[in-house]
Amino acid sequence: MRKKIIFSLYKKEMLDILRDKKTILMMIVIPLILYPLILAGSMFLASSMLKASTSKSYTIGFENFADEQAMVDNFNRLKKDHNYTFVYYRPKNEKENEKNLRKGLVDAYLVESVSENRPYYEIVYMASETDSQTAAGMIKDILTDIQKETTREELTSLGLDPDAVLRPIDYTYRDFSSKEENAGYVVGMIVPFLLITSILMGALYPAIDVTAGEKERGTLETLLTLPVKNLELIVAKFLATSTVAVGAALLNILSMVLMGAYMLSVGTMGSATSLDLASFIPATIVTLLCVLAFAMFASAVCLSACIFARSFKEAQNFTTPVMLVFMVGGMAGMLPQLSFNSVTAVIPVVNIAMLITEIFKFHFEFSQIAVVLLSNLAYTAVAVVIMGKLFSSENILFGDATVSLRLLESRSHMKSKQIPGIGDLVLVFAVLTIIVLFGSGLLVMSFGLWGVVIEQLLLFAVTAFYAWYIKTDARVVFHLHKPRPAAILAGVLCWAGTYLLIQLFGTLLVNYFPGLSQENTEALAGLWEDSPLWLMILSSAFMPAICEEVAFRGFMLGSLEFKYKPAVAVIFTGLFFAAFHMSLLQFLTIAPLGILMSYFVMKERSIFISIIMHFLNNFTSLLLQEYEEQLTEKIPFLGGELDLLTGLILLSGGIILIIAGFFTLHAGRKAADAMRR
């Protein structure tokens, strides 16, 4: 690539972007003016509402009281402690109560009755009316005070010490968190969502302008006729969009800092004025690094989505799902049940939100910071590569790009036995990823191992329904051919060899990075505890072997092999299959197996081979996890400490089995070809 050309194109793109009033509005006006106004306005509104709720006079009525005046006197005496103001209403008859409540003449009623020789009170109100609900809460406060007073008086009359009876023990809180940590906790819950949203909004409009906007204006054709490479043009657009996204984020940070400084100056933050602001410098530096990494990722994703659109309006429709996913991921730091670990550290968007939340709580794990930043750079690189492929397609640039997304067509007009397009593939796996990210945890928490079964069925249902809807050639796409016995044997041998090598590699990784396996092991142990073996096999081996294979070695591989070279389709399917498990350790260990299974399906045109391999892999892992002590006693090299002898056994055994598997595969194929001749 030529740096001067890229810089010239970058300069041109920046000038075009900055001429657009919408971009300036989203980049400058909103962060510097609107956000502070919203924050200040919400604080003023909350303060006004709180003040109004106590200064306002509420009308309450008493019904069926034996000594109404005594209760009124109690209310007059105790309301001063709460700064409440009441006006008392005495209804003429009980039929007026509901009518007066609905008309707003009375905010709430207090009805007295006797139950088991004790007074019993009922608060009658309208929960749908704010004033009525507030008045009911005030009456409850007064009754609580009367209840406490009466209890103390009765205990005293019996010669008992009320404090000793009502408070047999005392307790206090001792908070080890510093003021800075407490402030960081609050900031860390709010800032990630605001930053992610601002970065996305900052990237969105420039991305639309330099893609769909240029298509609409007819200037993209002129750009492509220039003596520049497609990659140079892509990089320039990517850098320009990233620059604007970073600028929008920095302006948002500046806006937040200025608002915080103002609140400190007027004393609205109380004890926060004594904070050691210097202690937040490391967290701020890491946040800026996160902003840079995430801005590049968001820009690449927005550009990849917008290139499909032919107009500004259409691009806004295409990017709506991206906005929703990013905004949901940005709220990850607000979820108390979500922890920052090796799994969430590699989930796009979620990892940035979680990392910023953690560092503002002064939890610095440099390995996790590195994983988050590097994973975002890796995702950015993948998105840029995808964007390059999209820019190389004339059909996408100048034709109707939506033909690759057949869901937008009427089913009655679809041809039978067609192959899914890249748009179909992206849509299906976006839905599957959302199911895994946001549905899996809820299902498992609600139904345990049956939740895993339901999750797998959802993956299968989404894939199968979409394939049916677009009239896919199921036999071709899902590789529904009968496998040769020799191919099945070859697949089993290669799986066994790969499994031994994975055991060796995984053990080495865990020895050097022990934290990698902790979350996975604990999660499995918690799910399998007190569960029957058949349910473990069904949920963790049988269902994934069918449902995940239909999605990956079926829909994904069957779509990619018609668009790219076989090696590209096999490797990409294997890598995406590994990434789908949302674990760094599993990615490193499952990727080779995913590539191997994709290779066998591609060679034999039969998904049943990969289903068998997948089942054997999960079933063996389940047995090793559940019966580790018994199995390692009989087969020591499958578990325990890794020594030189064990390592050599795993390495040599794995290589021998893989060689035997490939020999069986090719020998069987030659024999089959000879029989056909």
Q: What is the pLDDT of residues 384-398, one digit of tens each?
A: 877 777 777 666 666
Question: Is 359 a member of any domain?
Answer: no
How many Cα atoms sit within 13 Å of 497 on the Cβ side?
A: 18
Give the containing element (helix H, strand E) for 118: strand 118-125
Residue 601 forms part of a structural domain? yes
Residue 518, pLDDT score: 46
The answer on 302 and 158 residing in a single domain is no
| Cβ atoms < 10 Å from Cβ of 108 | 25
The reply to whether 146 and 46 lie within a common domain is no
Read off the amino acid at residue 59.
Answer: T
96 has which bridge partners?
none
What single string gives the DSSP state of each residue in 392-460? T-HHHHHS-GGGG-GGGS-GGGSPSSBPP-HHHHHHHHHHHHHIIIIIHHHHHHHHTHHHHHHHHHHHH
Q: Tell which residue, 369, 372, 375, has the closest CA to residue 351.
A: 372
Distance CA 462, CA 87 (A): 61
Average pLDDT score over residue span 135-156:
92
Q: Is residue 126 located within the same domain as residue 47?
A: no
Do 530 and 664 lie in one domain? The reply is yes
Whether the CB-CB separation of 598 and 610 falls below 8 Å is answered with: yes
Q: What tokens does 496 get?
A: 């066994």
Rounded to two decimals, the pTM is: 0.61
Q: Do both 672 and 610 map to the same domain?
A: yes
pLDDT tens digits, residue range 362-374?
887 888 888 888 8
Spatial CB neighbours of 229, under 8 Å, sequence gap ≥ 6: 1
Distance CA 34, CA 201 (A): 14
Residues in CB range of 515: below 8 A, 6 or more apart: 342, 367
Contacts of 392 (CB under 8 A, 6+ apart): 230
Identity (one letter) of the amino acid at 615?
Answer: F
pLDDT of residue 528: 66
pLDDT in tens, 585-640: 677 788 899 999 999 999 999 999 999 999 999 998 888 877 777 766 666 656 55
Give the ranges where 538-643 is alpha helix by DSSP (H). 543-549, 557-560, 566-579, 584-604, 607-626, 628-634
The counts of H helices and E strands in the chain are 30, 4
Q: Region 350-378: what's the mean pLDDT? A: 86
In angstroms, the CA 618 to CA 611 distance is 11
Q: Is there a contact between 331 and 193 (Cβ–Cβ < 8 Å)?
A: yes
The residue out of 110, 144, 166 marking a domain boundary is 166
Same domain, 207 and 98: no
Alpha helices in 209-280 (DSSP H): 214-217, 220-225, 230-266
Instruction: Give exposure, 6-33, as e/b (b: 16+ Cβ within 10 Å).
Output: beebbeebbebbeebeebeebbeebbee
Q: Is residue 373 part of a domain?
A: no
pLDDT of 469 strictly over 60? yes
Q: Is residue 293 predicted with pLDDT exceeding 80?
A: yes
Max distance between CA atoms of the chain, in angstroms, equals 109
Sign of torsion, CA 609 612 615 617?
Answer: negative
Structural domain contains residue 607: yes
What letter does residue 483 receive in the DSSP assignment?
P
* DSSP conformation letters of 69-109: HHHHHHHHHHHHHHT-EEEEE--SSTTHHHHHHHHTS-SEE
Cβ-proximal residues to 663 (8 Å cutoff; 6+ apart), any chain: none
Neighbours of 648 (CB within 10 A): 12
In this model, does residue 542 exceed pLDDT 90? yes
Note whether residue 289 is domain-resident. yes
The total number of structural domains in the chain stands at: 3
- Is residue 349 one of the residues assigned to a domain? no
Cα–Cα distance for residue pair 580/111, rounded to 1 Å: 60
Q: How far apart are CA 143 and CA 111, in angstroms?
A: 12
Whether the pLDDT of residue 644 is over 50: the answer is: yes
Give the tens place of pLDDT for each residue, 490-513: 999 999 999 988 888 877 776 665
Last residue of a domain, which of 166, 191, 223? Answer: 166
* Whether residue 263 sits in one domain with residue 307: yes
Distance, in Å, from the CA atom of 319 to the CA atom of 306, rounded to the nearest integer, reads 7
Q: Which residues contact 294 (CB under 8 A, 6 or more apart)?
A: 195, 196, 199, 349, 352, 376
Domain membership flag for residue 677 = yes
The kind and range of the H/E element at 640 are none
Shared domain for 634 and 522, answered yes or no, is: yes
Q: Facing residues of 123 across strands?
A: 110
pLDDT score, position 453: 92
In CATH, what number is assigned to the domain containing residue 121?
Answer: 3.40.190.10
- 38-69: per-residue pLDDT in tens? 666 666 676 666 666 666 889 998 888 888 88
What pLDDT score does 414 carry? 81
Same domain, 382 and 297: yes
Residues 423-436, buried b or exposed e (16+ Cβ, 10 A)? bbbbbbbebbbebb
Domain that holds residue 436: 419-677
8 A C-beta contact, residue 212 and residue 314: yes
| CA distance linking residue 467 with residue 406, whole number of Å | 10
Residue 121 lies inside a defined structural domain of this protein: yes
Tell me, what's the pLDDT at 668?
A: 76
The answer to whether residues 158 and 127 belong to one domain is yes
Residues forming beta bridges with residue 61, ordered by sequence position: 89, 109
For tokens 């994975």, the residue is 502
* Residue 14: closest CA among 246, 344, 283: 246
Which of the listed residues 144, 166, 188 is the one where a domain comes to its end?
A: 166
Instruction: Tell whether 24 and 77 lie within a shared domain.
Output: no
Predicted confidence band of residue 426 (pLDDT cuts 50, 70, 90): confident
How far apart are alpha carbons 70 and 81 in whole angstroms? 18
**Would you state the pLDDT for residue 519?**
47
Quick one: pLDDT at residue 489?
94
Distance, in Å, from the CA atom of 472 to the CA atom of 148, rounded to the nearest integer, reads 72
Phi, psi of 124 (to 5 degrees): -105, 125
Report CA dihedral (524, 525, 530, 536) to the nearest 10 degrees.
Answer: 30
Report d(CA 415, CA 563) in Å as an integer: 18
Whether 219 and 322 share a structural domain: yes
- 645 three-class SS: helix
Among residues of the chain, what percentage have pLDDT more than 90?
19
